Amino acid sequence: MEKLIEGFIQKDRMALSKLITLVENDSPESLDIMKAIYPLTGKAYVLGVTGPPGAGKSTLVDKLIRNFRSKADGVGVLCIDPSSIFGGGAFLGDRVRMEWAYQDDGVYLRSLATRGALGGLAPRVSEIIKLMDAFGKEVIIVETVGVGQMEADILRYADTKIVVSVPGLGDQMQALKAGILEIADVLVVNKADLPGARDVVDDLQMMLYLRKDSDWTPEIILTEALHDRGISDLDAALERHRTFLGQSGLKERQTRLQREHACYRAVEEGLKNYLRESFLEAEEVKDIFRRVQEEGLNPYQAAAEILQLLFSKTCRGR
């Protein structure tokens, strides 16, 4: 592990890949990895791209990568793909769409499977963002799976959130209302050459009136990502929001909440690992599970007994 961390610090991409794999797979060394790399974090600008399936998110991300690279920014990209409910695997199609990025040493692209997690993200995306940040990527782009109204976990991790829509989704009010609209810092209407694009803009402008009062009003940008149109306008809007984050103090407030959330998650995962690997293997606990299966013990009563055992054991260990 020490050699991997040393290689990571020396910007060895293979070391980065191996550390991401260990963290993604819930390796016992995960907590030690994050403790070691955390002091190197805090410099990256994290950009979230979300929206319904078919909105052209991957094509838009491809153009954004090229745009950031033209300014010499090192870019990390996390493309989240849905998993099979049977085998847990994912198609990871973004590797096909962005094949050119693998030829650019300034880009590190990683596809992640949701592994059944809700919210549009993969389970360890927070830690993997931090690994890319510590590795020195100035910009980290996270593309979520195609999401619905409330699958908006990207809110916790991204500095700027782009919500992408397109004409032809049917009821735009239904497609973008509630949580998915409320997380937006920049609204993009992609495939703007299609009929109905202006109607989508009108719908979004009307819906913005429903948002709670905020110091920042999302801009609406028309793009045709496939033809490189509107990308410069989008880049300018992102830069304005990035400036706003710094000047308003919102970036610092977000960072504080992210630190607290990271601590909470680490404690939660530690407890889960302890329960799975140690406590639930205790004979007393196994006996309770046996009584649930064979004797019809009320499972909620059983849970109360297990928790009582856990708390009593914790108190005795003090």
DSSP lists the bridge partners of residue 75 as 107, 139
Per-residue pLDDT at 83 exceeds 80: no
Residues 6+ apart with CB under 8 A from 312: none
Q: Is residue 8 situated within a structural domain?
A: no
Question: Tokens standing for 110?
Answer: 């990683």
Question: In terms of domains, do 237 and 265 share one?
Answer: no
Q: What is the mean pLDDT of residues 221-236?
A: 95
Q: Specify the DSSP class assigned to residue 52.
A: -
The residue from 199, 218, 250 where one domain ends is 250
Q: Are 44 and 185 part of one and the same domain?
A: yes
Report residue 281's pLDDT band, with 50, 70 and 90 as the boundaries. Answer: confident
Of all helices (H) and strands (E), which one includes residue 288?
helix 283-295
Rounded Cα gap, residues 197 and 165, in angstroms:
9
Task: Give whole-number Cα distances, 197 to 45, 168, 175, 180, in Å.
Answer: 30, 8, 15, 19
Please tell me which residue, 318 or 232, carries the higher pLDDT value: 232
* Whether residues 61 and 81 fall in one domain: yes
Q: Which of 212, 229, 250 is the last residue of a domain?
A: 250
The predicted pLDDT at position 53 comes to 80
Average pLDDT, the chain: 84
Q: Radius of gyration over alpha carbons of the chain, in Å?
A: 22
Q: Angle at CA 50, nearest 5°, toward 200 and 267? A: 150
Residues 80 and 221 in one domain: yes
**pTM for the whole structure:** 0.85
Distance CA 272, CA 76 (A): 30
Q: What is the CATH number of the domain that holds 78?
A: 3.40.50.300
Confidence of residue 93 (pLDDT cuts 50, 70, 90): low
Close Cβ partners of 177 (under 8 Å, ≥ 6 residues apart): 149, 207
pLDDT of residue 86: 47
3-state secondary structure of 189: strand
pLDDT in tens, 127-172: 999 999 999 999 999 998 765 544 567 888 899 999 998 887 665 5
pLDDT at 213: 66
Same structural domain, 237 and 312: no
What is the pairing mode between strands 139-143 and 45-50? parallel
Nearest residue to 164 via CA among 223, 111, 118 = 223
pLDDT, tens only, 22-74: 998 888 888 899 999 999 999 999 999 988 888 889 899 999 999 999 998 89
Are residues 237 and 290 located together in one domain of the fold?
A: no
Predicted confidence (pLDDT) at residue 196 exceeds the cutoff of 60: yes
- What is the pLDDT at residue 204? 87
**Facing residues of 229 across strands?**
224
Q: Which of 125, 166, 129 is nearest to 145 (CA)?
A: 125
C-alpha distances out from residue 16 to 22, 37, 73, 74, 123, Å? 10, 11, 18, 14, 18
Residues 270, 219: one domain?
no
**Cα 52 from Cα 44, distance rounded (Å):** 26
Asked whether residue 6 is domain-assigned, the answer is no
**Which one is predicted more confidently, 228 or 169?**
228
pLDDT at 72: 82
Q: What confidence score (pLDDT) does residue 207 get?
A: 80
The CA dihedral of 37, 39, 40, 42, to the nearest 10 degrees, is: 120
Model pLDDT, residue 45: 96
Rounded mean pLDDT of 247-256? 92
Mean pLDDT, residues 187-197: 92
| 54 within a domain of the structure (yes/no) | yes
Single-letter amino acid, residue 98:
M
Categorize the per-residue pLDDT at 119 as very low, low, confident or very high, splitting at 50, 70 and 90.
very low
- The pLDDT, as a whole number, for residue 231 is 95
Structural domain contains residue 13: no
Instruction: Evaluate whether residue 18 is within a structural domain.
Output: no
* Separation between Cα atoms, residue 117 and residue 7, nearest integer Å: 31
Query: In the 8-state DSSP scheme, what is residue 133?
Result: H
Task: Give the other-Cβ count within 10 Å of 243's Cβ.
Answer: 10
Which residues span the domain enclosing 135?
39-250
Q: Regarding predicted confidence, which is higher, 163 or 103? A: 163
Q: What is the pLDDT of residue 159?
A: 95
Q: Are residues 272 and 293 in the same domain?
A: yes
> Domain check: are 207 and 303 in the same one?
no
Residues 218 and 304 in one domain: no
| Residue 31 covered by a domain | no
Tally of structural domains, the chain: 2
Q: Is residue 27 part of a domain?
A: no
Whether residues 192 and 60 fall in one domain: yes
- Rounded to an integer, the average pLDDT of 260-279 is 84
Question: Mapping DSSP to helix (H, G, I), strand (E, B) and coil, where does residue 112 land?
Answer: strand
pLDDT at 79: 87
Beta bridge partners of 79: 111, 143
Q: What number is the average pLDDT over the span 202-229?
A: 85
Cα separation, 231 vs 73, in Å, equals 17
Are 130 and 58 part of one and the same domain?
Answer: yes
